[in-house]
């Protein structure tokens, strides 16, 4: 039995608190906190099975977070706030001696750049304090890394090529909307692309490499090569990888809107003067766009996310594909969420559960592929994200 503090009441936070409430034998007490307490209250009041405590907290302020931790006394903080807030929350956990889990790595607010170096710098301090931080325990990052670790453990002697493929074939009925925080989403896809090949990072212009990939139960969808954070740790923890890439689908309407917004400068993160005030165009755009958590009710279609891997097994070349398909309608039925929030929030709950049960528990700072994948893989299906695998299946990602 464990007390858990969840920070962040957006689309993913909504899923995490609802999934934790479904496992009362592990999460005996739950608090949901965010800058806007009314958002927490709305979620808590809608959950009939479990009493959820709520609180207001500014997650940019490590002292405020630490004070809340001291007051509630959780064993674990689940951070599903903004990536800018990872370090203040980690500081608070370090100060109070509480375990930590997040779903996205840190990035500075004034630069569209994300990498693990800032969080990996906490390794020794967390270890000395006797507490654990599990980084990026969503789907991608998170479940994709667990898939890769599972493949390495059970299907390969050496892995040589990894392609993470992420398709959202859903329809939310909006002219333009993002499936998670608009500010983070647009920063992510408008920066340069990057992939690993032959021991070095290859840099490409944003969205400049793309091709159709044939996704299970969906069919071919145009997919764009992006940089995604899990690649950074995967190529370190699986050094036999000669190439590692990440692909994500975008519809033509999305690309057209994005190009126009970039051309007029509204995706910029550099402050501009407007009526005597400094404003950041991307933050203003975020205020105009639909809240991702509001998209779920009318969302149709499904997501498909998986890992295409090539390598050697018993001296022979082998291909392997492991994946999950998630219907937006099923996500809404379970958690009143759309599928992208759902596929991020469910792995976060299970990672937290495994930590609190002592299955994934060791002091320090870790990425998901450093954990034993088997306990996660044996349970994730019953919590809403069943997985499938096929040896010999190739999705035509080789070129």
DSSP string, 13-51: HHHHHHHHHT-TTTEEEEEEEES-HHHHHHHHHH--SS-
- Dump pLDDT digits (tens) for 373-390: 999 999 999 999 999 999
- Dump pLDDT digits (tens) for 318-336: 999 999 999 999 999 999 9
Q: Are residues 99 and 129 in the same domain?
A: yes
Tell me whether residue 398 is exposed, middle or buried, using C-beta atoms within 10 angstroms of its C-beta: 0 to 12, 13 to 18, 19 or more. Answer: exposed
What pLDDT is recorded for position 274?
79
What pLDDT is recorded for position 265?
76
Q: Are residues 153 and 119 in the same domain?
A: no
> Per the domain annotation, does 73 fall within a domain?
yes
Question: How much is the mean pLDDT over the chain?
Answer: 91
Last residue of a domain, one of 135, 158, 180: 135
pLDDT value at 175 more than 60 = no
pLDDT value at 306 more than 70 = yes
d(CA 99, CA 79): 11
Number of domains in the chain: 2
Give the residue numbers spanning the domain of 147: 143-335+387-391
- Evaluate the CA torsion angle 258, 348, 193, 120 in order and state its sign: positive
Q: Are residues 120 and 167 in the same domain?
A: no
pLDDT value at 239 more than 80 = yes
- Dump pLDDT digits (tens) for 29-41: 999 999 999 999 9
What pLDDT is recorded for position 56?
98
Q: Of 60-74, 138-152, 159-173, 251-265, which range is least confident? A: 251-265
Q: Are residues 229 and 293 in the same domain?
A: yes
Q: Are residues 148 and 125 in the same domain?
A: no
Q: Of 51-55, 109-113, 155-159, 293-297, which range is least confident? A: 293-297
What pLDDT is recorded for position 110?
65
> Per the domain annotation, does 376 fall within a domain?
no
What pLDDT is recorded for position 295?
64
**Residues 6+ positions from 325 with CB-CB distance below 8 Å:** 216, 217, 218, 302, 303, 304, 388
Output the domain CATH number for residue 226: 3.30.360.10
> Per the domain annotation, does 52 fall within a domain?
yes
Last residue of a domain, one of 135, 161, 189: 135
Predicted TM-score (pTM) of this structure: 0.91
d(CA 163, CA 157): 18
Q: Are residues 163 and 300 in the same domain?
A: yes
Calculated CA dihedral for residues 155, 160, 161, 162, nearest 10 degrees = 50
Q: Are residues 108 and 159 in the same domain?
A: no
Angle, in degrees to the nearest 10, between helices 182-190 and 252-264: 90
Last residue of a domain, one of 135, 169, 190: 135
CA 77 to each of CA 70, 281, 311: distance values in angstroms, whole numbers, following the listed order: 12, 32, 38
Q: Are residues 175 and 114 in the same domain?
A: no
What pLDDT is recorded for position 271?
85
- Dump pLDDT digits (tens) for 340-359: 999 999 999 999 999 999 99
Output the domain CATH number for residue 31: 3.40.50.720
pLDDT value at 191 more than 90 = no
């Amino acid at each position: 039995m464990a007390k858990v503090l969840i920070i962040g009441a957006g689309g993913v936070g909504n899923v995490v608190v609802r999934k934790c409430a479904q496992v009362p034998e592990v999460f005996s007490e739950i608090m949901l906190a965010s800058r806007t307490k009314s958002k927490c209250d709305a979620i808590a009041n809608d959950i009939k099975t479990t009493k959820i405590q709520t609180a207001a907290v500014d997650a940019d302020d490590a002292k405020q977070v630490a004070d809340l931790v001291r007051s509630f006394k959780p064993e674990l903080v689940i951070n599903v706030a903004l990536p800018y807030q990872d370090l203040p929350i980690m500081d608070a956990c370090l100060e109070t001696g509480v375990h930590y889990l997040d779903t996205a790595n840190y990035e500075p607010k004034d630069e569209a750049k994300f990498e693990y170096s800032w969080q990996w710098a906490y390794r020794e301090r967390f270890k000395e304090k006797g507490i654990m931080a599990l980084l990026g325990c969503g789907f991608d990052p998170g479940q994709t890394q667990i898939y890769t670790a599972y493949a390495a453990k059970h299907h390969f002697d050496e892995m040589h090529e990894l392609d993470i493929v992420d398709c959202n074939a859903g329809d939310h009925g909006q002219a333009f909307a993002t499936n998670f925080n608009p500010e983070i989403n647009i920063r992510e896809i408008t920066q340069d692309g990057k992939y690993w090949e032959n021991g070095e990072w290859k840099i490409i212009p944003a969205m400049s490499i793309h091709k159709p990939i044939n996704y299970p139960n969906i069919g071919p969808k145009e997919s764009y090569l992006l940089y995604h954070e899990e690649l950074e740790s995967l190529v370190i923890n699986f050094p036999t990888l000669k190439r590692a890439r990440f692909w994500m689908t975008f519809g033509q309407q999305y690309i057209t809107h994005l190009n126009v917004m970039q051309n007029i400068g509204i995706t910029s993160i550099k402050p501009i003067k407007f009526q005597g005030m400094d404003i950041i165009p991307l933050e203003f755009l975020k205020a105009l766009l639909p809240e991702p958590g509001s998209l779920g009710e009318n969302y149709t279609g499904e997501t498909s996310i998986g890992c295409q891997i090539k390598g050697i097994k018993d001296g022979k070349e082998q291909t392997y594909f492991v994946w999950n398909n998630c219907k937006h309608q099923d996500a809404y039925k379970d958690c009143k969420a759309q599928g992208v929030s759902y596929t991020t929030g469910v792995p976060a709950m299970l990672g937290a559960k495994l930590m609190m049960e002592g299955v994934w528990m060791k002091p320090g700072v870790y990425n998901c592929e450093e954990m034993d994948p088997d306990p996660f893989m044996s349970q994730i299906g019953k919590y809403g994200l069943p997985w499938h695998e096929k040896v010999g299946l190739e999705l035509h990602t080789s070129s």
